């Protein structure tokens, strides 16, 4: 132990080249502060195998690359700046590791928010001898040695070449390890919250950014008038990662929609998403703009607009990614679980828990409900439905999708669609059971999903090159008989629509509530376009 310590000290007493110093600090950072991350990884991999070691090496490579990249950039600016940052991070890392190990927390955005919101009197309660030991041994001593070290002056050109070489070598390895990305993606929240120092640095920045976004004033949309005061309930279901290709309603050869196929739900043809990832797609769905204008201006989204116009707005979610919204009631799956009964409380079914009662309790004539599903989000498709919906077998039970056969992967995914069929049919029955009310629901997925076609999995491929499986989404509509009568809708006209997009949602909801304002576009209102005199 003494020999190791003297060797550790000897390095700092020498005068290493800048590139050598960066490599050493990067490796020291991984060994000293990231061992909880590798401990977590080992516990969640399938034992010690060549495959799991490859995954661990890929995780190591990611941490090494991001750490070395930042350090190279800092030292390119100034050696003094680089050393100063290393000193500060050593001190901060020691505290972060203590809390991760002692309290088994991950330093995600929520946790960083808790830290920023902690009062000084509360923080005093965390002081302990063990914290002091961590701080001294893992923080003060490394920081002192870094501060006292001398580094040889290296030309910026040579340092830049080292940086480029590091990026090329590690990026090449990571590209060849694509099959391991799926495991990393499935554990991204935990891994991201334990990667030192970028967990607390990045998530602190994310928290502060989200706080700043709350202060950005959304431009109010023009006030609306209502053509009628009929009791109306409209539900918008935002699906997750559902692709039209695997819906039997769209011609798929498997019975993934048996209940909806036997109902009066309308299937809209050739529906497309405006994005291949959740946050952008949800913003599109809730915007009055066509996709070209969604990301250039910051207008209030649909729920906030309806709320401000006097409609009772209820948001129930088992997902995330919505823009800042102002609604009457915002309920997460955790909130809904508290009063949920049955075996669907851990799945999307929780979104329907006591929904009819909440709607009935509203004192408003018009009620708008958003149900944001977890849907078919991968890679752990097998975990998104109760076991009685595991009809298509055998299923892929690994997050490393390349380890499964194509048939197993599709079976697991199709079971999520089958469960969604049940969910939407339950919603249809719930709305149909509300007396003296015209009601309707719109279901559209945020984006689609790739299931290995062309070697691509999941979603999020840049829009310009995204495969059709990620952009061609299901878009379904159900209307009660009284809704059809009040809106004078020709059902055959609605069924015959040649194409639809997420831009139709905003204006169709306005039309369903008989709302009119300067921004209402009848051409984008599916109900208005299908109405008859």
Is the residue at 38 inside a domain? yes
Residue 142: its pLDDT value, please? 87
In a shared domain, residues 249 and 148: no
Give, in order, the Cα–Cα distances in Å from 134 to each of 96, 120, 142, 215, 397: 10, 21, 11, 38, 39
Is the residue at 31 inside a domain? yes
Domain limits for position 56: 2-214
Return the structure tokens found at 275: 């994005």
Mean pLDDT along residues 150-162: 84
CA atoms within 13 A on the CB side of 271: 31
The DSSP output letter for 301 is P
Q: pLDDT > 70: what percent of the chain?
A: 89
Counting Cβ atoms within 10 Å, is residue 492 exposed (0-12), middle (13-18) or buried (19+)? exposed
Is the residue at 533 inside a domain? no
In a shared domain, residues 288 and 319: yes
In a shared domain, residues 125 and 82: yes
Mean pLDDT along residues 56-62: 86
In this structure, what CATH number is given to the domain that contains residue 342? 3.40.720.10
Mean pLDDT along residues 305-323: 95
pLDDT band at 39 (very low <50, low <70, confident <90, very high): confident
**Above 80 in pLDDT, residue 446?**
yes
Residue 28: its pLDDT value, please? 87
- As for how many domains the chain has, the answer is 2
Q: Which residue has the higher pLDDT, 229 or 461?
A: 229
In a shared domain, residues 303 and 188: no
Residue 12: its pLDDT value, please? 63
What confidence tens digit (pLDDT) does each residue in 184-241 have? Answer: 777 777 787 778 887 778 777 877 776 676 667 789 999 999 999 999 999 999 999 9
Is the residue at 462 inside a domain? no
Helix (H) or strand (E) holding 531: none
Residue 152: its pLDDT value, please? 82
> Of 378, 507, 488, nearest to 442 (Cα)?
507
Tell me what the pLDDT averaged over the chain comes to.
87
Is the residue at 220 inside a domain? no
Mean pLDDT along residues 149-163: 84
What confidence tens digit (pLDDT) does each residue in 489-501 have? Answer: 999 999 999 999 9
Q: Which residue has the higher pLDDT, 442 or 98?
A: 442
In a shared domain, residues 179 and 54: yes
Is the residue at 471 inside a domain? no
**Above 80 in pLDDT, residue 35?**
yes
Spatial separation of the C-alpha atoms in residues 322 and 299, rounded to whole Å: 14
pLDDT band at 293 (very low <50, low <70, confident <90, very high): low
Residue 188: its pLDDT value, please? 76
pTM: 0.71
What confidence tens digit (pLDDT) does each residue in 388-408 have? Answer: 999 999 999 876 676 789 999
In a shared domain, residues 44 and 178: yes
Lowest model confidence (mean pLDDT) among 150-154, 237-241, 255-259, 275-279: 150-154
Q: Is 220 helix (H, G, I), strand (E, B) or coil?
A: coil
In a shared domain, residues 151 and 296: no
Q: Which residue has the higher pLDDT, 42 or 391?
A: 391
What confidence tens digit (pLDDT) does each residue in 1-34 have? Answer: 344 445 556 666 667 788 888 888 889 888 888 8
Helix axes 79-103, 50-77, angle to 10 degrees: 140
In a shared domain, residues 202 and 251: no
Is the residue at 269 inside a domain? no
Is the residue at 466 inside a domain? no
Please say whether the beta carbons of 372 and 445 come within 8 A: no
In a shared domain, residues 414 and 292: yes
In a shared domain, residues 240 and 167: no
In a shared domain, residues 243 and 207: no
Give, in order, the Cα–Cα distances in Å from 97 to each of 5, 43, 343: 21, 18, 38
Q: Which residue has the higher pLDDT, 120 or 469?
A: 469
In a shared domain, residues 179 and 256: no
Mean pLDDT along residues 456-479: 89
Residue 4: its pLDDT value, please? 44
């Amino acid at each position: 132990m003494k020999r190791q310590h003297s060797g550790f000290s000897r390095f700092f007493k020498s005068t290493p080249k800048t590139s050598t110093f960066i490599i050493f600090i990067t490796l020291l950072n991984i060994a000293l502060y990231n061992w909880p991350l590798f401990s977590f990884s080992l516990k969640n991999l399938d034992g010690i195998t060549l495959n799991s070691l490859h995954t661990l090496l890929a995780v190591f490579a990611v941490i090494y690359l991001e750490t070395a990249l930042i350090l190279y950039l800092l030292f390119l600016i100034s050696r003094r700046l680089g050393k100063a940052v290393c000193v500060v991070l050593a001190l901060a890392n020691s505290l972060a590791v203590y809390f991760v190990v002692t309290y088994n927390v991950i330093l995600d955005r929520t946790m960083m928010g808790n830290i920023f919101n902690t009062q000084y009197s509360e923080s005093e309660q965390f002081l302990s001898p063990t914290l002091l030991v961590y701080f001294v041994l893992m923080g003060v001593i490394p920081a002192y040695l870094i501060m006292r070290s001398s580094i040889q002056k290296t030309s910026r050109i040579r340092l830049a070449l080292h940086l480029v070489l590091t990026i090329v070598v590690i990026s090449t390895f990571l590209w060849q390890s694509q099959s391991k990305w799926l495991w990393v993606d499935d554990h991204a929240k935990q891994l991201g919250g334990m990667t030192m120092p970028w967990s607390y640095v990045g998530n602190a920045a994310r928290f502060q950014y989200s706080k700043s976004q709350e202060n950005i004033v959304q431009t109010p949309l023009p006030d609306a008038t209502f053509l009628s005061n009929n009791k109306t309930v409209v539900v918008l279901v935002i699906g997750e990662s559902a692709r039209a290709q695997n819906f039997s309603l769209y011609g798929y050869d498997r019975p993934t929609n048996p209940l909806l196929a036997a109902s009066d739900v309308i299937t809209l043809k050739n529906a497309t998403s405006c994005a291949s990832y959740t946050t952008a797609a949800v913003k599109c769905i809730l915007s009055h703009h066509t996709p070209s204008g969604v990301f250039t201006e910051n207008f209030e989204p649909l729920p906030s607009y309806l709320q401000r116009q006097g409609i009772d707005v209820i948001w129930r979610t088992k997902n995330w990614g919505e823009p800042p919204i102002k609604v009457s009631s915002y309920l997460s799956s955790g909130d809904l679980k508290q009063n949920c009964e049955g075996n669907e409380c851990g799945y999307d079914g929780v979104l329907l828990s006591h929904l009819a009662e909440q709607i009935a309790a509203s004192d408003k004539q018009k009620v708008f409900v958003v149900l944001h599903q977890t849907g078919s989000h991968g890679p752990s498709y097998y975990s998104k439905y109760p076991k009685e919906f595991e009809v298509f077998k055998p299923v892929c039970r690994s997050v490393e999708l390349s380890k499964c056969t194509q048939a197993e992967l599709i079976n697991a995914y199709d079971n999520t669609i089958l469960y969604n069929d049940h969910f939407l049919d339950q919603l249809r029955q719930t709305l149909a059971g509300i007396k003296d009310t015209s009601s309707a629901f719109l279901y559209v997925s945020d984006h689609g999903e790739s299931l290995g076609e062309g070697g691509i999995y999941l979603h999020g491929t840049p829009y310009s090159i995204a495969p059709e499986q990620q952009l061609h989404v299901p878009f379904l509509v159900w209307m009660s008989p009284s809704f059809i009568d009040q809106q004078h809708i020709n059902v055959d006209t609605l069924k015959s629509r040649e194409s639809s997009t997420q831009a139709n949602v905003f204006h169709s909801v306005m039309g369903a509530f008989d709302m009119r304002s300067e921004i209402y576009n009848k051409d984008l209102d599916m109900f208005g376009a299908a109405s008859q005199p």
